[in-house]
Amino acid sequence: MSTIASLNIGELGYISEESLDFIPLKLLEMGCLPGAEVQLIQIAPLKDPLYICVNGSHLAIRKETASKIKILKANI
């Protein structure tokens, strides 16, 4: 299974239910819930943090955190 950190720029995915235990409370409050659509918008020059769009909200998260959040990639 893929993680947010494994997305390519512009690629979509959906947060997996099994990631719930690894998502920090702060991100849960901002809408990073299982089933939420995630798109990688940009990667910082040193590869950390990652700039993502979750259900229309733009967030910057650390690569370490992104590598723990499992996703299901969207089939386009």
pTM of the model: 0.84
pLDDT digits over 31-44, tens only?
Answer: 889 999 999 999 99
Q: How far apart are CA 8 and CA 18, in angstroms?
A: 22
Which structural domains are found in the chain, ordered by start? 2-73 (2.30.30.90)
Confidence of residue 76 (pLDDT cuts 50, 70, 90): low
